A and B are shown apart, each in its own frame.
Chain A
Amino acid sequence: MSQERVEPSANRENPQNSVDSKWYCREDWLAVLVGLTVLGAAFLCAWSTVDFADGEATSGHPWKSWVGKPGSWVNNPLDSLPWGQAWSTSLGIFLGPLVASLAGFGFACWMQGKSVSRFIVAFPVVFLLAGFAYVMAGQETVKNFNLEYALWALTVGLLISNTLGVPNWLRPAVLTELYIKTGLVILGAEVLWHRLIALGLPGIAVAWVVTPVVLITTYWFGTRILKLPSRSLAMVISADMSVCGVSAAIATSASCRAKKEELSFAIAISLMFTVVMMVVMPLVIETIGLDPIVGGAWIGGTIDSTGAVVAAGSSLGGLAEQTAATVKMIQNILIGVTAFGVAVYWVMFVERDVDSGVRPDAMEIWRRFPKFVLGFVVASLAFTQLSQMIVDGESLVTLTVKGATKGMRGWFFCMAFVSIGLDTKFSNLKRQMQGGRPLILYVCGQTLNIVLTLLMAYLMFGIVFADYIRETLAK
């Protein structure tokens, strides 16, 4: 196991430094508290107000008109805003995330002994920048090439920090870690464990077997063969490429306390390759005459981003689209296992005492463990149980997530990427290039992913379970 020195990072919380503050005033626990409060309030609100008939909700989530983001546009960015409607459905959609963020993160600042008034002054600007990033991401061409808002939020932040500079009064709202961790706790509600067994054995084979093999092999290749100096960069690239793109990169980077520039760099590489793969893979599948269902499974297991998977799958037909989307969904769920596994591995093996090389005891592991991961797991288990145990649970959970929490989570991640941009200089990003080795790591890992997934998809979806899959799809 690794005995390499772990590089110090600006955003790595040193547990030794935080022993003075009370446990409930630490950032991880505050992120858990804010995240679970949002989830609990959204669920209770839906449970107490929405009626169901034949398992279908008779109305939308009460928060739906208060939690939204700018829409898409072609030539005029103003088209992304819902003008000409009642104010509650136009500006109202930004009010929910703004008020909830001010309240939640303002409370976190207060608990940490920071100035709440300075946060309140600065926060609307960060929120506005995140809104601007959403507008950029809504441009029709950008959107259809899967260039997600994370990239544009980063661009907006970088533009300001590398030209005007970040004024000191804005700094109290540049809370990257808090936004990311809270967003991840909320994301936990979307990780429903029973969906891991969707599609049965063939789904397990493609998503459960190939994904961990590619993840571990790529990480090993990056650290041992390419000898990347930063283990966390190798891990973030490996998870981003093998699991599910941006969301996996965010979760893994928080679990292994990667540098902000490493997360930015991994996401930029991933989105760049996703655009190419989204266009090329369907063409390759059609050219070699691969069965659309096998092709769909191949696409679902290899293309990083969920949206790009659906788009590429749909160009091969409805069956391929469904297969691709379902395989990707299983990989999405794996984000929970990955985040937890990486956090445990990091505190046990990577961050152990460098000088003595001694494995830390249970108390030390607990002290170093990123606690927000527990909030993520608790949210995930709770919503899985709720969806399975209560009447109309599946619909209720879906309504809560689609109508309220995914919108909040999106804003939190968007503000996190704006904050990363505001905290990053181009020179820091350039330093991540390391002679092109991270790029080589991504290409090698993705090549392995493509080959292994094709073999497994062909074996499982084309030969062994071909009839079972066709029956399932025909239901």
Chain B
Amino acid sequence: MSNVKFHPSVHHDTSEPKSSVVIPRDDLGRSLVSRCRAFFFALSLLAIIWLLVLPAIGKIPSVDAMIRRHDAAGIDPSVMFYSEIEHLEYRDGMLRLTTEAAEERSQF
């Protein structure tokens, strides 16, 4: 549980002169500026990974081939439960290709 305290009474460095402007600190004693810096650093890291690194990985021939194969077959590898599989439907005791998926596959 995060216990971020925004109470004016929380001063970790007592040697600082008291002022009317109180900088809120968290339970680790970090100032707002230091927390914002950490946040924007983490956000920048995520942006670099998602906008540059991951698209670059997707262009590696073997990965690209896998992505194209999944696309062509209508497969979403990120589904969590069988009911989310769109290209297969339950019929006579099996999950079978839907008519649309079967037609699409016949074109490849």
Distance from B75 Cβ to chain A, minimum over Cβ atoms (Å): 5
Residue of B nearest to A139 (CB): B54
Is the CB–CB distance between A165 and B35 below 8 Å?
A: yes
The answer on a CB contact under 8 Å between B54 and A307 is: no
Contacts of B50 in A (CB 8 A): 77, 136, 139
The proximity string for A residues 400-431 relative to B, scoring 1 for CB distances below 8 Å and 0 otherwise, is 01100010001001000000001101000000
Quote the shortest CB–CB distance from A124 to chain B (angstroms): 20
* Cβ-defined partner of B79 (8 Å) among A147, A164, A197, A306: A306
Q: Which residue of B lies closest to A75 (CB)?
A: B55
Which B residues between 1 and 51 are near A, CB-CB below 8 angstroms?
A: 1-2, 4, 6, 26, 35-36, 38-39, 42-43, 46, 50-51
> B82–A163 contact, CB under 8 A?
no
B88 near A306 with CB under 8 A, answer no
| Inter-chain contact B78/A148, CB cutoff 8 Å | yes
A150, A308, A310, A475 pick with most chain B CB within 10 angstroms: A310
Residue of A nearest to B92 (CB): A475
Given A146-B77, A325-B88, do A74 and B55 touch, yes or no (CB 8 Å)? Answer: yes
Contact A147 B78 (CB under 8 A): yes
Residues in A whose Cβ lies below 8 Å from that of B104: none
Interface residue range, chain A: 35 or more
- In the complex, whether A337 has a CB less than 8 A from a CB of chain B is no
Q: How many residues of B contact A (CB 8 A)?
A: 46
Of A144, A167, A306, which contacts B82 at CB under 8 A?
A: A306
Determine the chain A residues whose CB is within 8 A of the CB of B97 once the complex forms. Answer: 318, 322
Question: Knowing A164-B36, A164-B39, A329-B95 touch, does A141 contact B57 (C-beta < 8 A)?
Answer: yes
CB pair A168–B6 under 8 Å, yes or no, is yes
Give the interface SS of chain A, mostly helix, strand, loop or mixed. Answer: helix
- Asked whether A199 lies within 8 Å of B93 as measured between CB atoms, the reply is yes
Residue A305 lies at the interface, judged by CB distance under 8 Å to chain B? yes
Cα–Cα distance between A339 and B79 once the two chains are bound (Å): 20
Taken together as a complex, chains A and B put the C-alpha atoms of A394 and B105 apart, in Å, by 25
Report yes or no: B81 in contact with A187, Cβ–Cβ below 8 A. yes
Query: Could you name 10 residue pairs across A and B whose Cβ atoms are closer than 8 Å?
Result: A142-B54, A164-B36, A164-B39, A190-B83, A195-B90, A197-B93, A278-B77, A322-B95, A394-B90, A406-B83
Other A-B pairs, 19, CB within 8 Å; known A165-B35, A199-B94: A10-B1, A77-B51, A139-B50, A140-B67, A143-B77, A144-B67, A144-B77, A147-B78, A161-B2, A163-B36, A164-B38, A165-B26, A198-B94, A322-B97, A326-B94, A326-B95, A329-B82, A406-B81, A423-B2
Instruction: Tell me the A residues contacting B by CB distance below 8 Å.
Output: 10, 74-75, 77, 136-137, 139-150, 155, 159-168, 187, 190, 195, 197-200, 244-247, 278, 305-308, 310-311, 314-315, 318, 322, 325-326, 328-329, 332, 394, 398, 401-402, 406, 410, 413, 422-423, 425, 472-473, 475
Residue numbers of B with Cβ under 8 A of A are: 1-2, 4, 6, 26, 35-36, 38-39, 42-43, 46, 50-51, 54-55, 57-58, 63, 66-67, 69-70, 73, 75-86, 88-90, 92-97, 105
4 closest Cβ contacts across the A-B interface?
A165-B4, A163-B39, A311-B77, A307-B79
